[in-house]
Homo-oligomer: A and B are copies of this chain.
Amino acid sequence: MGVKIILGHGSGGRMTRELVRDVFCRHLGDVGPESLDDGAVLDCGAGFLACSRAEGQTGKSAPQLVFTTDSYVVSPLEFPGGDIGTLAVCGTVNDLAVMGARPLWLSLGVILEAGLEIQTLERIVKSIAEKAREAGVKIVCGDTKVVEKGKGDGIFINTAGIGVLEKPMRPETIKPGDKIIVSGTVGDHGMALLTLRKGFPLKSNLKSDCAPLNEMILQVLGKVDVKWMRDPTRGGLATALNELTEGQPWGVLLEEDGIPLSEAVCGVSELLGLDPLYSANEGKAIFVVPAGSAENTLKILKKTSCGQNSAVIGTVSGDFPGKTVLHTQMGTLRTLGILASDPLPRIC
Contacts and interface: CB of A to CB of B under 8 A. Distances in A.
A70 interface: yes
B69 A142 contact: yes
A97 to B, nearest CB: 13
Contacts of A108: 24, 36, 69
B27 A126 contact: yes
A42 interface: yes
A148 interface: yes
Interface in A1-39: 1-10, 16, 19-20, 23-24, 27-33, 36-39
A116 interface: yes
Interface string A197-222: 00000000000000000000000000
A67 interface: yes
A158 B117 CA distance: 23
Interface stretch (A44-52, A186-194, A304-312): A44-52
Contact of A118 (B2, B47, B56, B107): B2
Contacts of A23: 118, 121-122, 125
A105 B166 contact: no
- The count of identical subunits is 2
Top 10 A-B pairs ranked by shortest CB distance?
A10-B146, A36-B142, A160-B160, A69-B107, A40-B140, A158-B158, A31-B132, A54-B63, A27-B125, A71-B109
16 contacts: A5-B113, A5-B118, A23-B125, A30-B133, A31-B137, A33-B138, A36-B108, A42-B162, A68-B141, A69-B109, A69-B142, A71-B109, A73-B147, A111-B156, A152-B152, A160-B160
Given A56-B61, A57-B62, A67-B105, 6 more contacts: A2-B118, A28-B125, A31-B133, A31-B139, A147-B153, A160-B160
